[in-house]
Amino acid sequence: MPAAKKLRSYDWFGKNDKMGFVHRSWLRNQGYPDDYFQGRPVIGICNTWSELTPCNGHLREFAEVVKRGVAEAGGFPLEFPVTSLGETIMRPTTMLFRNLASMDTEESIRANPIDGVILLTGCDKTTPSTLMGACSVNLPTLIVPGGPMLNGRFKGSCLGSGSFNWMVKEKLLVDNYTEADILEAEIGAARSQGHCMTMGTASTMACMVEALGLTLPGAAAIPAVDSRKKVLAQLSGRRIVEMVKEDLTLSKILTRQAFENAIVVNSAIGGSTNFIIHLLAIAGRIGVNLTLEDFDRIGSNIPLLVNLKPSGEYLMEDFYYAGGLPVVIKALQNLLHNDAITVNGKTIGENNSSPVCYNNDVIRDIATPLQENAGIAVLKGNLCQNGAIIKPSAATDKLMQHKGPAVVFETMEDYHARIDDEDLEIDENSIIVLKGVGPVGYPGMPEVGNVDLPEKLLKKGVKDLIRISDGRMSGTAGGTVVLHVSPESSVGGVLALVKNGDIIELDVAARRLHLNVSEDELERRKLAWVAPEPVADRGYVKFYIDHVQQAHLGADIDILRGGSGSKVTRDLH
Supply the minimum distance, in Å, between the C-beta of residue 124 and ligand FES. Answer: 5
Question: If binding is defined by CB under 6 A, does position 150 make contact with ligand FES?
Answer: no
24, 58, 195, 239: which one binds ligand FES (CB under 6 A): 195
Question: If binding is defined by CB under 6 A, does position 55 make contact with ligand FES?
Answer: yes
Supply the minimum distance, in Å, between the C-beta of residue 149 and ligand FES. Answer: 9
Question: If binding is defined by CB under 6 A, does position 200 make contact with ligand FES?
Answer: yes
Supply the minimum distance, in Å, between the C-beta of residue 88 and ligand FES. Answer: 5
Supply the minimum distance, in Å, between the C-beta of residue 374 and ligand FES. Answer: 22
Q: 59 to 118, contacts with ligand FES by CB under 6 A? A: 87-88
- CA 355, CA 358: separation in Å to the nearest integer? 10
Task: Identify which range of 40-48, 104-112, 196-204, 277-285 contacts ligand FES by CB under 6 A.
Answer: 196-204
- From the list 220, 231, 234, 225, the residue with the least C-alpha distance to 320 is 220
Residue 21 belongs to what H/E stretch? helix 18-27
Supply the minimum distance, in Å, between the C-beta of residue 248 and ligand FES. Answer: 29
Write the CA distances from 444 to 219, 311, 471, integer angstroms. Answer: 30, 26, 9
With respect to ligand FES, which residue has the nearer C-beta, 56 or 490? Answer: 56
Crossing angle of helices 95-111 and 274-286, rounded to 10°: 30
Task: Identify which range of 194-202, 260-268, 274-282, 365-373 contacts ligand FES by CB under 6 A.
Answer: 194-202
With respect to ligand FES, which residue has the nearer C-beta, 94 or 486? Answer: 94
Tell me, what DSSP letter sits at residue 4? P
202, 288, 445, 541: which one binds ligand FES (CB under 6 A): 202
Supply the minimum distance, in Å, between the C-beta of residue 13 and ligand FES. Answer: 37
Contact assessment for residue 513 and residue 494, using Cβ atoms and an 8 Å cutoff:
no
Supply the minimum distance, in Å, between the C-beta of residue 292 and ligand FES. Answer: 25
With respect to ligand FES, which residue has the nearer C-beta, 125 or 364? Answer: 125
79, 104, 124, 488: which one binds ligand FES (CB under 6 A): 124
Tell me, what amino acid is at 260? E
Supply the minimum distance, in Å, between the C-beta of residue 213 and ligand FES. Answer: 23
With respect to ligand FES, which residue has the nearer C-beta, 77 or 200? Answer: 200
Residue 359's contacts (CB-CB under 8 Å, 6 or more residues apart) are: 318, 321, 322, 323
Tell me, what DSSP letter sits at residue 57? T
Specify burial of residue 211 (Cβ count, 10 A radius: 0-12, 13-18, 19+).
Answer: buried
Tell me, what amino acid is at 521? E
Q: 257 to 296, contacts with ligand FES by CB under 6 A? A: none
Contact assessment for residue 202 and residue 123, using Cβ atoms and an 8 Å cutoff:
yes
Supply the minimum distance, in Å, between the C-beta of residue 475 and ligand FES. Answer: 8
Supply the minimum distance, in Å, between the C-beta of residue 132 and ligand FES. Answer: 18
Residue 383's contacts (CB-CB under 8 Å, 6 or more residues apart) are: 468, 485, 494, 495, 498, 504, 513, 514, 515
Question: If binding is defined by CB under 6 A, does position 192 make contact with ligand FES?
Answer: no
Give the x/- contact pattern for ligand FES in 151-170, rule: CB under 6 A: -----------x--------
Provide the sign of the torsion angle of the four alpha carbons 316, 320, 322, 323, taken in this order.
positive
Other beta carbons within 10 angstroms of residue 51's beta carbon come to 11
With respect to ligand FES, which residue has the nearer C-beta, 124 or 452? Answer: 124
Bridging pattern class, strands 401-409 and 431-434: parallel
Bridging pattern class, strands 481-486 and 116-121: unpaired
Q: Could you give the strand order of the β-sheet that contains 76-81, starting from the edge strand earlier in sequence?
A: 76-81, 42-47, 116-121, 141-145
Specify burial of residue 236 (Cβ count, 10 A radius: 0-12, 13-18, 19+).
Answer: buried
- CA 240, CA 76: separation in Å to the nearest integer? 11
Supply the minimum distance, in Å, between the C-beta of residue 59 and ligand FES. Answer: 12
Question: If binding is defined by CB under 6 A, does position 123 make contact with ligand FES?
Answer: yes
Question: If binding is defined by CB under 6 A, does position 189 make contact with ligand FES?
Answer: no
CA 265 to chain centre: 14
Task: Identify which range of 133-141, 167-175, 195-203, 287-295 contacts ligand FES by CB under 6 A.
Answer: 195-203
With respect to ligand FES, which residue has the nearer C-beta, 267 or 474? Answer: 474
82, 196, 390, 394: which one binds ligand FES (CB under 6 A): 196
Tell me, what DSSP letter sits at residue 559? G
Task: Identify which range of 193-201, 216-224, 229-237, 271-279 contacts ligand FES by CB under 6 A.
Answer: 193-201
φ, ψ dihedrals at 554, nearest 5°: 105, 0
Question: If binding is defined by CB under 6 A, does position 230 make contact with ligand FES?
Answer: no
Could you tell me which residues are beta bridge partners of residue 116? Answer: 43
Three-class DSSP category at 350: helix
Site for ligand FES (CB under 6 A): how many residues? 10
Supply the minimum distance, in Å, between the C-beta of residue 153 and ligand FES. Answer: 17
With respect to ligand FES, which residue has the nearer C-beta, 151 or 489? Answer: 151
Residue 384 belongs to what H/E stretch? strand 384-390
Report the interface residues with ligand FES, using CB under 6 A. 55, 87-88, 123-124, 162, 195-196, 200, 202
